[in-house]
């Protein structure tokens, strides 16, 4: 029977294993179909074991798995409670609601430290307008009719020329509608239910949410001053078959950390050894204020085709334009392209053509240069204010670039960041609590993020003064 | 133990059941990870049963399930072969390749009957350009900065006013980047793996592909002259717990069929009885040439909140603009909104604002009116040509609207539609073979679709003459 290789081996001797999986699957279905409500108490382990006529340990295992997959939460001394898919639902709903209200026109004069993107105040709309008109005059209705599944040819060419010195084939570039879609499209193509994904802890909530939505197993690994800990990563890799590692290589969201090149190389080496892929979300690397930080992406160091590179133009440029691109490894190229077609066929053609011309005319470069000057000034100023007003209240790592600081409230101070959010909101100052960036939200309750892209220097100072008053109390 | 309701009951007495599931799961993983290649022969049932030390029937069941989920195909007298996810991969690849080549600028003068969307030749780009400039002057950089998760307020207002006489609350409308995204976002929100979806047979390949990608169980139900057969639908509903039914209510793609109001009401009634939802893809209902056809969507007849209504602006208007909208039932409103955010945060703001103004100025209405005049003429002409040249070769139902005809090659004629596609391509005529629209492609081999949106009257006649010559031979 030599032609039946070992790969067909399945362990069939695990009736108990299988029972708990059946129980787990059944309860998941009940939760998904709202037959068990969010927050409903599940029968106790003893009750459930008696009812189903199984060992208690079988129920324990089923409940454990439900917890691990985010379908249940245990309250010590009280029991196990059903949980719907959305992590962190209640607070994140409150947070979105507040931000939505603020962004509406009625409510202005808030000091808004929640901004994750440039504010547009330095954007020369007239340049963009003339570019748009030039495209319409040049391409006529094609600019509105064409559906290019890989994206507009010209834009892929200029990305290759301007950002990769022609070293990337334009047909290896896939245009997507922003980085969020990039993450979604990649996940759909390469991740199946229960595949294991490693993420930094803390990490971008939008990515966490995609991975949760795909029902993958998410393993968080803490991020240190120059990236995640390699020993810790290797420990995880030894124990688990990992499909991919999601990372933001520069000014990580929320910590502001950037990876050293040494660390990037080590991770790439491990990717090769343990056969996993790196999803690199390169979202803000244009904004470097500390000259000692040099830019080189995982992708640029990758010699084994292990990186799925995702670049957002929205984040740094114009959020409303919804354009980004990705460069997949050869292995996943076709499935990722199909995943994009499956998702929305193609990205708005006119916007792509306008961005292309905007880049080719050098307007992109000069806009980014302007932003660097303005935001570096704000960055330095915010750091000065934190040092001045929050010195004894918070700790932080200097990011050296990007658009925000991530602060840790000192242990001896009672207030947590959700409370701080609520109180500062009442004082018309908005912050982002750390709870949004963790699989288990409570782990972020001593952290908060403040960004300076929507706040001028005067307001940076007033806002931080107010935060200082609130943290003391 | 009265508080443990029956809902917790799980059937645990099925070791054999479970074994075949384990085997199936394992093989699926091997296929997904390319450890078993596409087309690789699986071990015979006897070999596999011996190797795993299980009953043959267990292996038979595992293989059957693999087949049902599209992971394997049986060749009579030869064995079972692994199959990768993409249905219809080889031909659909050939088809896309040809179309891609044609759409590139080098190759012109084809008679292209594959177009599914208006061609843009009647679109007044100058109107749109002035609208775009008006938006930029009015909104400045906001038009490029804003990310509205439900979509631009103004556009949702005008959709409610212009298309729903104000009867839909603007906050019940969700803007999406085209209907394909609508289908994807809805599937992500309401469909889990192995949920059952009913589709018309044949149906739109883009929807089929999303449902396959979600690994749902797809049941096809044949479409008749005024929609699917109700008895047949009810038979399916009695046997299966169905989650939703995907339908195109007007000028169904590819058959061109429209549903009678009576049939729509019957289906809505069944949705209520059997607790399933109707995903209505309303993609071309603006183009009605037969005055006896009146427009009323499933949504407009829906009194029990059973319809997820998806409207594409791209298909009828400008494909490159990538805008559509959907109206979810209350029950799924929040999860569908979250699914959209998860997918790409929001749709290009500038494009939404431009479309809004375009609609408000009445330009939309007048453009659609123009299209109706031109396309009705072509429709009538194409019908005349089919009657004249293909009378004894094909059968078809007159759609009375839309942009295409779906033709069935008569039984006694040897040629199938893939062969016809290849041969007609060499004569510079492009058609869409029916195979793309079926779960089992071969079922569509006697059908093909010809659309007239990219072909003027002279070429309609030449193209059909050529097809006639090829079908005879």
CA distance B144 to chain A (A): 4
- pLDDT at residue A85 above 90? no
Query: Which chain B positions have a beta carbon within 8 Å of A18's beta carbon?
Result: 15, 18, 22
What does the pLDDT look like over B361-406, one tens digit per residue? 999 999 999 999 999 999 999 999 999 999 999 999 999 999 999 9
Calculate Rg over the CA atoms of chain A.
24
Match domain A13-82 to its CATH number in 3.30.1330.10, 1.10.10.10, 1.20.1250.20, 1.10.287.3510: 1.10.10.10
- pLDDT at residue A178 above 80? yes
Query: Which chain A positions have a beta carbon within 8 Å of B184's beta carbon?
Result: 342-344
Q: What is the DSSP letter of B40?
A: P
CB contact under 8 A, B133 and A129: yes
CB contact under 8 A, A144 and B4: no
Query: Which chain A positions have a beta carbon within 8 Å of B322's beta carbon?
Result: 177, 344-349
Query: Which chain B positions have a beta carbon within 8 Å of A52's beta carbon?
Result: 8-10, 12
Phi, psi of A282 (to 5 degrees): -100, 95
Instruction: At A64, list the tokens.
Output: 């454990």
The domain defined by B125-361 carries CATH number 3.40.640.10: yes
CA A177, CA B329: separation in Å to the nearest integer? Answer: 26
What does the pLDDT look like over A414-436, one tens digit per residue? 999 999 999 999 999 999 999 99
Closest chain A residue by Cα to residue B209: A342
CB contact under 8 A, B3 and A43: yes
Cβ-Cβ contacts under 8 Å for B343 (sequence gap 6 or more)? A180, A181, A184, A343, B181, B184, B185, B188
- pLDDT at residue B312 above 70? yes
What does the pLDDT look like over B145-186, one tens digit per residue? 877 889 999 999 999 999 999 999 999 999 999 999 999 999
Task: Choose among B36, B54, B144: nearest Cβ to A321.
Answer: B144
Helix ranges (H only) for A88-152 are 89-103, 125-139, 142-145
CA B413, CA B472: separation in Å to the nearest integer? Answer: 7
- The gap between the terminal CA atoms of chain B, to the nearest Å, is 75
Query: Which chain B positions have a beta carbon within 8 Å of A50's beta carbon?
Result: 1
CA A437, CA A444: separation in Å to the nearest integer? Answer: 7
pLDDT of residue A2: 35
User: Residues A266, A228: contact at Cβ < 8 Å?
Assistant: no
**pLDDT category, A351, cuts 50, 70, 90?**
very high
CA distance B331 to chain A (A): 11
pLDDT of residue A88: 47
> How many H helices and E strands in chain A?
17, 16
CB contact under 8 A, B181 and A344: yes
CA A263, CA A246: separation in Å to the nearest integer? Answer: 15
What does the pLDDT look like over A5-23, one tens digit per residue? 455 555 554 555 678 888 8
**What's the topology of domain B10-82?**
Arc Repressor Mutant, subunit A (1.10.10)
CA A387, CA B299: separation in Å to the nearest integer? Answer: 59
Mean pLDDT (chain B) is 88
CB contact under 8 A, A140 and B128: no
A51, A65, A71, A56: which is closest to A22 by C-alpha? A65
Grouping H, G, I as helix, E, B as strand and the rest as coil, residue B132 is helix
Mean pLDDT (chain A) is 88
What does the pLDDT look like over A116-161, one tens digit per residue? 887 778 888 899 999 999 999 999 988 888 778 899 999 999 999 9
**pLDDT category, B410, cuts 50, 70, 90?**
very high
Query: Which chain A positions have a beta carbon within 8 Å of B47's beta carbon?
Result: 1, 4
Burial of residue B97 (number of CB atoms within 10 Å: 0-12, 13-18, 19+): exposed
Cα B110 to chain centroid distance, Å, stands at 26
CB contact under 8 A, A123 and B146: no
Instruction: Please name every residue paired with A218 in a beta bridge, in sequence order, or none if there are none.
Output: A197
Q: What is the DSSP letter of B389?
A: H
CA distance A1 to chain B (A): 8
Cβ-Cβ contacts under 8 Å for A113 (sequence gap 6 or more)? A404, A429, A430, A431, A432, A449, A450, A451, A452, A454, A455, A463
CA B135, CA A133: separation in Å to the nearest integer? Answer: 13
Instruction: Please name every residue paired with A324 in a beta bridge, in sequence order, or none if there are none.
Output: A176, A312
Average pLDDT estimate for B285-312: 95
**pLDDT category, B83, cuts 50, 70, 90?**
confident
Query: Which chain A positions have a beta carbon within 8 Å of B344's beta carbon?
Result: 176-178, 180-181, 184, 322, 344
Average pLDDT estimate for B47-60: 87
Match domain A89-115+366-472 to its CATH number in 3.40.1690.10, 3.40.50.970, 3.40.50.2300, 3.90.1150.10: 3.90.1150.10
Higher pLDDT, B103 or B420: B420
Task: Choose among B12, B188, B349: nearest Cβ to A52.
Answer: B12
CB contact under 8 A, A12 and B144: no
- pLDDT at residue A229 above 50? yes
Calculate Rg over the CA atoms of chain B.
24
Neighbours of A448 (CB within 10 A): 28
CA B324, CA B336: separation in Å to the nearest integer? Answer: 14
The structure tokens 């009576």 sit at: B262
* Cα diameter, chain A: 78
Task: Choose among B19, B117, B322: nearest Cβ to A344.
Answer: B322
Domain extents for chain B?
10-82, 89-115+366-472, 125-361
Burial of residue A78 (number of CB atoms within 10 Å: 0-12, 13-18, 19+): exposed
Cβ-Cβ contacts under 8 Å for B469 (sequence gap 6 or more)? none
CA B179, CA B207: separation in Å to the nearest integer? Answer: 10
A110, A330, A394, B7: which is closest to A385 by C-alpha? A394
Angle, CA of A79, A81 and A87, to the nearest 5°: 135
Grouping H, G, I as helix, E, B as strand and the rest as coil, residue B41 is strand
The structure tokens 């993609």 sit at: B283
Helix/strand/coil percentages in chain A, nearest 5: 50, 15, 35
Phi, psi of A402 (to 5 degrees): 80, -155
Task: Choose among B23, B123, B144: nearest Cβ to A318.
Answer: B144
Query: Which chain A positions have a beta carbon within 8 Å of B154's beta carbon?
Result: none
Phi, psi of A149 (to 5 degrees): -65, -35
Lowest mean pLDDT among A316-320, A379-383, B439-443: A316-320
Closest chain A residue by Cα to residue B191: A32
pLDDT of residue A87: 41
CB contact under 8 A, A351 and B349: no
User: Residues A221, A228: contact at Cβ < 8 Å?
Assistant: yes
Cβ-Cβ contacts under 8 Å for B190 (sequence gap 6 or more)? B243, B244, B277, B308, B332, B335, B336
CA distance B164 to chain A (A): 25
**Of A44-48, B136-140, B264-268, where does the model show the most confidence?**
B264-268
**pLDDT category, B193, cuts 50, 70, 90?**
confident
A219, A309, A204, A220: which is closest to A264 by C-alpha? A309
Task: Choose among A8, A121, A344: nearest Cβ to B48.
Answer: A8
Instruction: At B16, list the tokens.
Output: 């054999």
Query: Which chain A positions have a beta carbon within 8 Å of B181's beta carbon?
Result: 343-345
The domain defined by A126-364 carries CATH number 3.40.50.300: no
pLDDT of residue A237: 96
Instruction: Please name every residue paired with B247 in a beta bridge, in sequence order, or none if there are none.
Output: B280
CB contact under 8 A, A119 and B145: yes
pLDDT of residue B1: 30
């Amino acid at each position: 029977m030599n032609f039946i290789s070992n790969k067909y081996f399945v362990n069939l001797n695990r009736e108990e294993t299988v029972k708990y999986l059946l129980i787990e699957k059944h309860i998941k279905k009940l939760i998904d179909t709202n037959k068990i409500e969010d927050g409903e108490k599940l029968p106790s382990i003893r009750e459930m074991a008696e009812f189903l006529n199984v060992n208690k340990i079988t129920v324990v295992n089923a409940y454990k798995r439900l917890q691990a997959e985010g379908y249940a939460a245990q309250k010590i001394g009280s029991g196990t409670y059903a949980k719907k898919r959305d992590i962190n639902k209640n607070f994140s709903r409150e947070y979105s609601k507040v931000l939505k209200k603020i962004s509406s026109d009625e409510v202005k004069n808030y000091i808004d430290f929640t901004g994750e993107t440039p504010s547009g105040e330095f954007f020369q709309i007239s340049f963009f307008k003339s570019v748009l008109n030039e495209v319409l005059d040049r391409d006529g209705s094609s600019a509105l009719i064409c559906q290019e599944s890989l994206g507009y040819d010209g834009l892929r060419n200029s990305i290759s020329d301007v950002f990769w010195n022609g070293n990337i084939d334009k047909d290896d570039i896939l245009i997507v509608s922003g980085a969020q879609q990039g993450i979604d499209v990649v996940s759909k193509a390469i991740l199946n239910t229960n595949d294991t994904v490693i993420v930094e802890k803390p990490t971008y909530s939008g990515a966490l949410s995609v991975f949760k939505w795909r029902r993958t197993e998410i393993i968080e690994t803490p991020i240190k001053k120059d990236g995640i800990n390699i020993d810790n990563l290797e420990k995880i890799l030894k124990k688990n078959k990992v499909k991919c590692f999601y990372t933001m290589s520069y000014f990580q969201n929320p910590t502001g950390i950037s990876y050293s090149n040494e660390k990037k190389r080590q991770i790439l080496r491990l990717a090769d050894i343990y056969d996993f892929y790196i999803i690199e979300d390169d979202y803000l690397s244009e904004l470097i204020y500390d000259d000692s930080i040099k830019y080189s992406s995982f992708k640029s160091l990758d010699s084994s085709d292990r990186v799925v590179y995702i670049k957002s133009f929205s984040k740094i440029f114009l959020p409303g334009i919804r354009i980004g691109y990705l460069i997949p490894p050869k292995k996943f190229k076709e499935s990722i392209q199909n995943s994009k077609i499956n998702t929305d066929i193609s990205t708005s053609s006119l916007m792509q053509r306008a961005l292309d011309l905007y880049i080719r005319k050098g307007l992109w470069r000069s806009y980014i240069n302007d932003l660097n000057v303005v935001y570096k000034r704000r960055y330095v100023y915010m750091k000065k204010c934190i040092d001045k007003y929050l010195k004894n209240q918070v700790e932080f790592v200097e990011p050296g670039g990007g658009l925000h600081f991530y602060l840790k409230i000192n242990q001896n101070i009672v207030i947590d960041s959700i409370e701080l959010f609520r109180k500062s909101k009442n004082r018309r100052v908005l912050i982002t609590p750390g709870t949004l960036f963790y699989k288990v939200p409570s782990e972020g309750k001593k952290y908060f993020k403040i960004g300076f892209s929507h706040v001028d220097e005067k307001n940076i100072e007033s806002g931080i003064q107010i935060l200082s008053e609130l943290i003391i109390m």
